[in-house]
Amino acid sequence: MKGNMNKQHTHEGLGQRAPQGPSHETLLFWFDSEHADQAAPPDWIEGTGGAAPLRCIALNWREAGRPRTTEGAAAWLAQSIRSFQGEGPYWLVAEARSAELMHALALQLLGQDQELAFLGLLGATPAPVASGISLRSRALPAWSIDPANGLVQRLELLATGAKVLSSTVVREPDGTLECLQALWSDVLDLADSLAPQRAPELDYQPLIKLQAGSPGHAPLFCVPGAGDSVMGLRDWAAALGAQWPVYGLQPRGTDGVLMPHTTVEAAAVAAVRAMEAVTGRGPVHLAGHSFGGWVAFEIALQWQALGREVLSLTLLDSEAPDAAGVLDKEHSHLDICEQLAGSLELALGRPLGIFRHQLAPLSPAQRLATLHAAMTRHGLLPARTRPDVMEGPLQAFGAALRTSYRPTGQWGRPICLVQADDPRRCAERNAQDQQRDAEGWRLWAPQLQHWKGPGNHMSMLKPPHVQHCVDGWLTRQRGVSRSTTPIAFEQKTKDMGVN
């Protein structure tokens, strides 16, 4: 076996593109500890299938700024890895003590609809999964390589630890570099010999039919806000009238099982794929509420790039895109719970009775139970539900808060931004915020028209305010509400029975 110890580490920050790597089918990414310059892994692993290059990314935060959260570190790593290799499948390697970060990085890449071919941990097996954990954690297939014992283990890797599925002593350890490389070769061959497990996230279908409509009408596709369900758009569909075909694009991850999208672009790609199955190359209307406005805007750019027509694009109280880096969008679990409580108060129209200082000392499971108890007390959830019913919405809400978006191009056609006042702010502050968002959107959509709708950020989608919003929308659609030719729809979507 051949190999050498590479003492020259590559310290990659955000926005830095690495030089072109070796031309090999498999590239292993090693993310090293903060003191990685003291001991580097081998830069080549010689295997039976040929040499597999290893790319080292040291966790050096001096330029980027130290992350406050594991999710922030994972987002930074994912961006660094994709700057070198734009698309998966990815083979990832780390020290066993970095198992939690490995799990978060894998989820970050899954959230970008990237395939994961291999997750490897070098060193003693990670701690077993702690008992009594009520919050669900996405299990990921992984491998543990323990050179001290010549041991290879198959794992289910979770945020809270690992479950050992099988253990094999593959060779006697002797502490040499050649032995370590041989172990790597063995585990890569084992992993490569198994049938790949395709992540269910990659086959997610977001489309839900809210209203069938009449032949000849171009459909309206709606994207709900962060952590919300397309069912929150039923009143909008009903207010339009039965002749309009209306589809919702359900954000992934609200079920608490799948990983939410972690980039706007990936969410839009999945949406465009689903829309094509219904409309073919036909024209569409698009609308997005809050964070869904970013997704709707990106869908419009992608739909237009395919040579297809967007008859109208409407943003419902959506903040302007930002140029923040991934470490500028960090939010802790406490931050996310607090902001979700604020959104629920807007929907409720009165205080929920939950404050940050109450949530701060609680565990994640206790915070979830506190939110659930308040929601059932105020009638936002049935009393018979369990606290874990909120895990998915909270997960999707948090993923949206942590996502930054900078469009890749401008929208050169008319676009409408409907804004709503925040009752927690004074009139002057509302006016300033709305003007700032309108100006921010005009950087990407010069023909923006904006007007103030009734209600607040959440109640604008509910009676009685929703009818006023829809009437304003219909007024602006005159002349484009019908396509020039009738459109035949393939009904391949889940029908929610809302007519």
Walking along the chain (499 residues) 10 residues at a time, the average pLDDT comes out as 30 30 60 55 57 75 76 91 92 90 95 94 78 65 86 89 86 71 79 81 94 88 94 91 94 92 96 92 93 97 94 95 83 94 91 92 93 93 92 94 92 94 93 95 94 91 91 74 35 36
Instruction: Say what the pLDDT of residue 481 is.
Output: 42
Instruction: Say what the pLDDT of residue 5 is.
Output: 27
Instruction: Say what the pLDDT of residue 456 is.
Output: 93
8 A C-beta contact, residue 119 and residue 142? yes
Compute the CA torsion angle 229, 233, 238, 242 (nearest 10 deg).
-80
Q: Report which of 266, 289, 277, 337 is spatially closest to residue 494, judged by C-alpha positions.
A: 277
220-223 β-sheet, strand order = 448-452, 415-419, 310-316, 284-289, 220-223, 246-249, 207-211, 494-495
Instruction: Say what the pLDDT of residue 55 is.
Output: 82
CB environment 187-208: b (16+ within 10 A), e (fewer)? bbeebeeeeeeebebeebebbb
* pTM for the model: 0.86
What does residue 277 show for φ and ψ, rounded to 5 degrees? -65, -20
Q: What is the largest CA-CA distance in the chain?
A: 78
Distance CA 32, CA 58 (A): 5
Instruction: Say what the pLDDT of residue 258 is.
Output: 92
Distance CA 221, CA 224 (A): 10
Distance CA 144, CA 379 (A): 47
- How is residue 173 written in tokens? 């350890």
Distance CA 182, CA 177 (A): 9
Q: Report which of 265, 404, 267, 401 is spatially closest to residue 325, judged by C-alpha positions.
A: 404
Enumerate residues 6+ apart whose C-beta is below 8 A from 131.
none
What's the CA angle centered on 433, arms 221 and 228, to 5 degrees? 35
What domains, with CATH codes, occur in the chain? 28-201 (3.40.50), 204-329+403-495 (3.40.50.1820)
**Tokens 């465009």 appear where?**
272
Q: Report which of 219, 382, 356, 352 is spatially closest to residue 285, judged by C-alpha positions.
A: 219
Q: Report which of 396, 341, 403 is spatially closest to residue 372, judged by C-alpha positions.
A: 341
Determine if residue 350 is left, alpha or beta; phi over 0 gives left, psi from -120 to 50 gives alpha, anything else beta.
beta
Distance CA 171, CA 182 (A): 9
